[in-house]
């Protein structure tokens, strides 16, 4: 039987390649940081496509904290939380996350994909409604699919369309609006103040995924609740430890204690997955200590974002409006985005072309992600390379 299936897969894979949609993985041989080494590439390349927003992925304090946690609490838990997989470090990290987001309690997951995948089904039934932004992350989409609640979808950050959905869902028992804080492909921020106004008007709950916004947006980088002064109005936050908060693994849901308690009882990814490893928890605790000491990393990140964005716009590139650390350099053609990324690597700049199905057809781009780990000279090198390649490939006019 596998011979037939193999032929089918081979044909499908070839069609992906023929369409210019095949994704190749480049191998990094150094720690994740602003300058990295890549297999089959001479010299260092500058990394502009990691989620390492605060530059903490290779931070010595986090590495030492991870080593200490491993020395004192072991390598792995070999268990789920409710059997024998809960250590004091897990409870300390949950408390630190709650304090950061000004919530009552937090539950840890192996990843934010699990947090979103395990959020809706334990809380809502066919009597309820989930109203989701059209550009929400795949993990939210999958989480909604696993729930029996009625589903509504509104156009990205379109408040008139959201209100339409809320009106259509008026007879449902409970309603929850689900949105990303920052939309990962475009870099735009959800208008949480307006979302919360509509939620109050139509008696709905609000959930936001802070994966790309925590550590980035807001006056001190505490996310969308800080940016829009929505503390107490956003009911549930989900997020990851794999981006701003150290860049490793792990996710979380944080919010009212009753919600978190119900997730501990019924959320399947939590109940049936190993606990987050001690080294990751120890390093994450150190991350929140660092962020509590100073706003220096966030300030540097936003300085880098503003500098890069302004220079790229001045050079003539088409960049989607952004309030985050994500700058989408629009190319629109899938093959062009791959060719552009390949040429950039020859110039010593590591970026990735994004194209369907990661973004809609005809919306291919280079997604540049800025970091507090970048210095001004590195930003200038990246901008110069973009201009050189842009002219070579006809994106920019001479």
Catalytic residues: 184, 212, 243
Mean pLDDT to the nearest integer, 313-341: 93
Tens of pLDDT along 142-164?
Answer: 999 999 999 999 999 999 999 99
Q: What is the largest CA-CA distance in the chain?
A: 65
Strands 35-36 and 45-47: antiparallel
Instruction: Answer whether 349's CB lies under 8 Å from 381's CB.
Output: yes
Adjacency order of strands within the sheet including 35-36: 35-36, 45-47, 349-350
Q: Looking at per-residue confidence, does 364 or 323 come out higher?
A: 364
Q: Does 20 have pLDDT greater than 80?
A: no
pLDDT at residue 275, as a whole number: 97
Tens of pLDDT along 37-91?
Answer: 988 887 889 999 999 999 999 999 999 999 999 999 999 999 999 999 999 999 9
Question: What's the pLDDT band for 280 if we cut at 50, 70, 90?
Answer: very high
Residue 177: asked if its preceding bond is cis (omega within 30°), the reply is no
SS3 90: helix
- pLDDT > 70 in the chain, percent: 100
Query: What mean pLDDT is reported for the chain?
Result: 95
pLDDT at residue 2, as a whole number: 93
């Amino acid at each position: 039987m596998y011979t037939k299936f193999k032929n089918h897969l081979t044909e499908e894979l070839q069609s992906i390649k023929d369409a210019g949609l095949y994704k190749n993985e480049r191998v990094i041989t150094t720690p994740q940081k602003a300058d990295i080494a890549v297999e089959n590439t001479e010299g260092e390349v500058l990394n502009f496509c990691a989620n390492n927003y605060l530059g903490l992925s290779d931070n010595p304090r986090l590495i030492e904290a991870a080593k200490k946690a491993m020395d004192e609490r072991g390598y792995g838990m070999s268990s789920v939380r409710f059997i024998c997989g809960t250590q004091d470090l897990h409870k300390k990290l949950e408390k630190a996350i709650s304090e950061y987001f000004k919530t009552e309690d937090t539950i840890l997951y192996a990843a934010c994909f699990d947090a979103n995948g395990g959020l809706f089904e334990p809380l809502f039934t066919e009597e309820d409604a989930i109203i989701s932004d059209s550009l929400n992350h795949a993990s939210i989409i999958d989480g909604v699919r696993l729930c029996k609640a009625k589903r509504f979808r509104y156009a990205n950050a379109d408040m008139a369309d959201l209100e339409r959905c809320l009106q259509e869902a008026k007879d449902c028992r409970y309603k929850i609006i689900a949105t990303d804080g920052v939309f990962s492909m475009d870099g735009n921020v959800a208008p949480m103040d307006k979302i919360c106004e509509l939620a109050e008007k139509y008696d709905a709950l609000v959930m936001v995924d802070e994966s790309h916004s925590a550590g980035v947006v807001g006056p001190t980088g505490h996310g969308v609740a800080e940016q829009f002064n929505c503390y107490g109005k956003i009911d549930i936050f989900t997020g990851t430890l794999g981006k701003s908060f150290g860049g490793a693994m792990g996710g979380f849901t944080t919010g009212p204690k009753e919600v978190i308690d119900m997730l501990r009882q019924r959320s399947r990814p939590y109940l049936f997955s190993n606990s987050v490893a001690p080294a990751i928890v120890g390093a994450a605790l150190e991350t929140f200590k660092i962020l509590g000491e100073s706003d220096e990393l966030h300030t540097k990140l936003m300085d880098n974002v503003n500098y890069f964005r302004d220079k790229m716009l001045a050079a003539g590139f088409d960049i989607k409006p952004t309030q985050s650390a994500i700058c989408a350099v629009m190319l629109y053609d899938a093959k062009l985005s791959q060719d552009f990324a390949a040429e950039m690597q020859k110039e010593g700049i590591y970026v990735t072309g994004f194209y369907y199905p990661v973004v809609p057809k005809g919306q291919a781009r280079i997604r540049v992600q800025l970091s507090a780990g970048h210095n001004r000279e590195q930003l200038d090198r990246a901008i110069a390379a973009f201009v050189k390649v842009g002219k070579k490939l006809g994106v920019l006019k001479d």
